[in-house]
Amino acid sequence: MDIKKLRHAVTLSEEGNFARSAEKLHITQSALSRSIQALEGELKLQLFERHSNGVRPTIAGQHILSGARDLLRRANSLQHEAELLREAHIGDIAFGVGPVPAHLLLPYVMSEISRDHPHLNITAEVQSALRLMEWLLEERIEFFVADTTQFIPSADIHYEPLLFLPAGLFVRKDHPLAGKPIKPKAFLDFTLASPGFSSSTDSSLTPPNLSADEPRGELQELLATRNGHIVCENVKVLETVALSSDAVLLMSSLAIQESLNQGEIVPLYTREGPMQWPSTQSVVRLNGRTSSPAAEKVIALMLSYGQSLAGNK
């Protein structure tokens, strides 16, 4: 049933006159007449009868028009709801964030979203990149932002680089290893504090082993012989652990910039220079999926804040 024809019939019942109804609907009288005739033909009912001052609904027409008004109200409501969804003013969104972008970007993104889109229902999961990838493939989240250096390319996954943030080793200023060149494996005598690393053997997600000649392969080989490991997806907690113990922190320098600027935390280095490894924070989505308007808003903000952060490094 054509909503437009129902709207024409309801307007005609309210105005009781073809000329006024056509003017209100911004169509010609002949077009309105054809629309009413077509609706009556479709329903096999006479909806209107003429009288001296115009037209009025028949008994059958009154019943049909009552239902038509309810249907039009619902159609208007759906149209309004679609507009709100399109502008991301309402809806539900679940996405994931790794510990570093959660620390650097999430507070600003969430603040702006809650201010500009207060009726959105938002769930932001802070987890390891591997866990977020698993959730994305299960479609529990719509996208995530995390360190994607550990993942291999896949036709099912779309990666959009956001930030290039090398990961380094850091200790408190009075740490036994601080302030001098160290042997590459010297830090392994101490507890490591870091976000979670991939231990997946699923080749569709991560390569089980990297060559020791590759920077991340060198790191993987070193960490395989570590003494102890504190794993946490909260940057502030890891930073506090490093400041108050002999734990060695594996982290992006940008995430602990304030402590570095104040000299409370210092980088570890060898005779060759700082001990650091590549890390790329990316927006990760499933290929072939249309993102919701709310997701597009959040991703746009992530990219905007990420670019701003990169420019201020």
All domains of the chain, ordered by start, with CATH? Answer: 3-86 (1.10.10.10), 91-164+280-311 (3.40.190.10), 167-277 (3.40.190.10)
What CA–CA distance (Å, rounded) separates 201 from 207?
7
Half-sphere exposure of 163 (CA within 13 A, CB side): 29
- pLDDT tens, residue by residue, 149-175: 888 888 899 999 999 988 899 999 999
- Residue 139 DSSP label: T
Residue 195 · residue 158 · CB < 8 Å: no
pTM for this entry? 0.69
Q: Give bridge partners of residue 147 from the DSSP assignment.
A: 281
Mean pLDDT on 124-153:
92
Q: Which helix (H) or strand (E) holds 229?
A: strand 229-231
69: left (phi over 0), alpha (psi -120 to 50) or beta: alpha
Res 219: pLDDT: 62
What CA–CA distance (Å, rounded) separates 294 from 118?
12
Mean pLDDT on 54-66:
93
Res 205: pLDDT: 41
Residue 209 has pLDDT above 50, yes or no: no
| CA separation, residue 52 to residues 15, 17, 55, 308 (Å) | 14, 11, 8, 72
The proportion of the chain whose per-residue pLDDT surpasses 90, expressed as a percent, equals 61
What CA–CA distance (Å, rounded) separates 87 from 301?
14
38-52, 195-209, 236-250 — which is least confidently predicted? 195-209
Res 249: pLDDT: 96
